[in-house]
Structure 1
C-alpha cells in the first residue's frame, strides 16, 4: 500500500532558515513542499489556494500571525497549522493554541523530531516540543495552587469574566459602564492577585477555578485526572478550539 503524501506549506521570513527546513523535508518520500512564504498574509494565501495538509508557520513575522491562524482554523479545518518558532514565550504559545494551531515547536529541534511532529499533526494529533510543554504545565499547576488563595472583589470578577469572553478593555468598559482606565486598573489588580504576567495566564487560571467552584457548589463529581491542565488537555485531546 502506498504511503499517503503529506502536502506542506512553509512560511518564515528568514529565507535561509526556511530553505533549510524545506531541504530537510524534501528528503522524505512522503512529504511534498507545495509553496513557501514570508509573512502571515502569505500563510493565509497558501492555505486558501493550495490547502496543504500541514502549514508550518513562524510566530514573529510580518502581519498578525495569530489572527491568520484563527482564520485558517475556522475556514479551513483540514489545513493543520504547526508553529515552528524560536519564541519560548508562554503567551505566544497560549495565543497560538487558542487561535487553533495544532502544535508548537521550537526551532532547536532536530530534523527527525520535526518530521515526526509533522506526521503526528497530519494524523490529527497535537504536538508540542516536550520540554516546552513541561514548562507550560508546570506553570499551570503553580497558578492553580495560587488561585485557591485569592479573593476577587465582585467588580474584579465581573471584569475578568468579560475579558475571558474575548472582549477588549474598551468593550468591557462599555458593557459595565466604566471608563477604560478603570477596567485597566481592575485587570492590573486581578493579575497581581493571580501572579499572572498577562491576560492569557489570568484567564486560564480563573477558568480552572470556576470549574472547580461549579463542581463544589452543585455536587458534580470531579472529572477524572486529565493528561494535562485544562487548556493543554483540550488541545492534546485533538479538539479544535
Structure 2
C-alpha cells in the first residue's frame, strides 16, 4: 500500500533489527522497507529507499549513528529516531544537534516505538520522558534570565510567530516545553487529544519549528518555562 509509512531500521545487531521489524510489521500503516548494519550503509539505503523514518542506533562500526543522522537530515532523506541502549547525555545532545526528531531507549515498549514512528513521520517528535526532563534541565541550567518578580512569568524573547499564537496555542506550547505528551496535555486542558494535535501543529507552523524537539528548545529559550520546572 502506497500510503504506508516507510521505515528503515539501522542497527549492527541482526536480532535487534529483526525484533524492531516484527513490532512494526503488525501495524497496517507501517512498512519496513530496508535494514542497515552501520552508519555508512544507513545513508546509502536512505538515499536509495527514501524512507519516511529511520530508526538509528548510535554505537556501530565505522560511521556511527550520530554522523549518519547528520548526513540523513542534511540531505533530507527521512526523519531520524535514535534508539539506543545507552542512556548517555552525550548521545542525547549530539543526536538532537545532528537533527534527530526523537530519542528513545531500547527498553521502551512496543507501543511507544510505534507512536514515535508515526509522530516523527507527521512532523512531530517523541522523546523518552526521562530524556525530555534532561533536555529541560540542561537548557534551564545554561540560561541566565533576568530576575523577575515571583508572580511574573519570564518575558518571552518574542519570535515573530509568537504574536500569531492564540491563547490556547500559547498554553499548549508551554506544556510541550514542560515535556508533556499530547495525551497529558489533553487531560490538563480538558480537551480531546485530536484537538491538542491540531494546536501543536499550528504552533510548529507559526513558529517555523521542525518538530516537537525544537518546540521544547524554543519554549525554554523564549523564557516561557519558569526556573525549576
Under TM normalisation by the shorter chain, which class is it? 0.5 to 0.7
> C-alpha distance in 2, partners of 1:10/1:238?
26
Q: 8 Å contact 2:83–2:106 — kept in the other structure?
A: yes
Partner of 1:106: 105
Post-superposition offset of 1:48: 0.7
Question: 1:21-65 CA distances to partner (integer Å, 9 max, x unpaired)?
Answer: 101111111111111011001110111111100000001112232
Give the alignment partner of residue 235 of structure 1, picking from 213, 220, 228: 213
Matched, 1:43 2:42: yes
Give the alignment partner of residue 222 of structure 1, picking from 155, 165, 188: 155
Q: 8 Å contact 1:84–1:105 — kept in the other structure?
A: yes
Q: How many residues align?
A: 163
TM-score (norm 2): 0.63
What secondary structure, in the 3-state scheme, does the structure 2 residue paired with 1:87 have?
coil
Partner of 1:85: 84
RMSD across aligned positions (CA): 2.9
Q: How does 1:1-241 map to 2 (within 5 A)?
A: 4-62=3-61, 63-76=63-76, 79-141=78-140, 144=141, 205=142, 208-209=143-144, 212=145, 222-223=155-156, 226=174, 227-228=176-177, 235-237=213-215
Q: 8 Å contact 2:102–2:127 — kept in the other structure?
A: yes
**Runs of 4+ residues over 4 Å off in structure 1:** 224-227
Q: 8 Å contact 1:52–1:79 — kept in the other structure?
A: yes
Unpaired stretches in structure 1, ≥5 consecutive residues? 145-204, 214-220
Distance 1:234 1:23, change over 3 A: closer
What secondary structure, in the 3-state scheme, does the structure 1 residue paired with 2:123 have?
coil
> C-alpha distance in 1, partners of 2:110/2:11?
17
Unpaired stretches in structure 2, ≥5 consecutive residues? 147-153, 157-169, 179-210, 218-229
> C-alpha distance in 1, partners of 2:91/2:136?
15
Post-superposition offset of 1:236: 4.1
TM-score (norm 1): 0.60
> C-alpha distance in 1, partners of 2:23/2:106?
13
> C-alpha distance in 2, partners of 1:74/1:139?
25
> C-alpha distance in 1, partners of 2:16/2:55?
12
Structure possessing the higher radius of gyration over alpha carbons: 1
